[in-house]
């Protein structure tokens, strides 16, 4: 099987398993406003990443074909991204939410992947997105990965403001010592 054929299936398996796991979460106590923007932007980016959408919408733009070895390295990067999201998701447990919310029993989680970055799920999705865009081999795919990343950065900013208000000083202190999206990057 070619790397390029495998990558869409990896996304499908990740997405389906992600939403099945969504059944196990705590009750929502509070929700941040502005849900449409932080949901639509990443979805638009994700759609542009995949060749089926990008090349049909923008035929004839810059494209490339990766050597098989490089394509498999990108598959490995996508696997690392998906694994990072699952590590974070499992570590959060019932506190996870697809939206920006405060759950019953919510507290600052600063262990596991959350000691590396404040938003490891977004980090993992963005890594998988860029790896996929490089495999897909078009400038539109890379632009899609950039839009996906900007969408998650926007969502992270919304979440930062919300959690600072909801959780107070404990979240503010955590945010001051832990990078937002890129591990080991200091302010």
User: Is residue 25 domain-resident?
Assistant: no
User: Is residue 186 domain-resident?
Assistant: no
User: Is residue 16 domain-resident?
Assistant: no
Measured over the CA atoms of residue 88, residue 161, residue 105 and residue 43, the dihedral's sign is: negative
User: Is residue 38 domain-resident?
Assistant: yes
Domain count, the chain: 1
User: Is residue 161 domain-resident?
Assistant: yes
pLDDT (tens place) for every residue of the chain, 187 residues total: 788 889 999 999 999 999 898 887 778 888 887 777 788 899 889 888 987 766 667 776 768 889 999 999 999 999 999 999 999 999 998 888 888 888 888 899 999 999 999 999 999 999 999 999 999 888 889 999 999 999 999 999 999 999 999 999 999 999 999 999 998 776 5
**Prediction pTM value:** 0.91
* Residue 42 domain boundaries: 34-58+66-96+106-177
Residue 143, helix vs strand vs coil: helix
DSSP category for residue 30: E
User: Is residue 29 domain-resident?
Assistant: no
User: Is residue 182 domain-resident?
Assistant: no
Which of 106, 99, 78, 77 lies closest to 168 in space, CA to CA? 106
Residue 149, helix vs strand vs coil: helix
Q: Which residues pair with 138 in a beta bridge?
A: 63
């Amino acid at each position: 099987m070619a790397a390029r054929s495998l990558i869409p299936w990896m996304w499908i398996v990740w997405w389906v398993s992600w939403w099945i796991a969504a059944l196990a979460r705590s009750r929502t106590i509070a929700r941040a406003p502005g849900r449409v923007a932080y949901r639509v932007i990443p979805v638009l980016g994700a759609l542009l990443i995949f060749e089926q959408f990008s090349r049909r919408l923008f035929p004839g733009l810059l494209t490339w074909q990766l050597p098989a070895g490089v394509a498999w390295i990108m598959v490995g990067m996508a696997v690392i991204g998906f694994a990072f999201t699952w590590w974070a998701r499992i570590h959060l447990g019932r506190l996870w939410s697809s939206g920006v919310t405060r759950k019953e029993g919510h507290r600052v989680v600063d262990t596991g992947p959350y000691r590396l970055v404040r938003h490891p799920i977004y980090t993992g999705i963005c890594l998988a997105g860029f790896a996929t865009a490089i495999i897909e081999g078009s400038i539109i795919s890379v632009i899609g990965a950039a839009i996906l990343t900007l969408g998650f950065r926007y969502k992270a900013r919304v979440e930062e403001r919300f959690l600072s208000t909801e959780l107070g000083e404990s979240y503010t202190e955590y945010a001051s010592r832990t990078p937002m999206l890129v591990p080991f990057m200091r302010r």
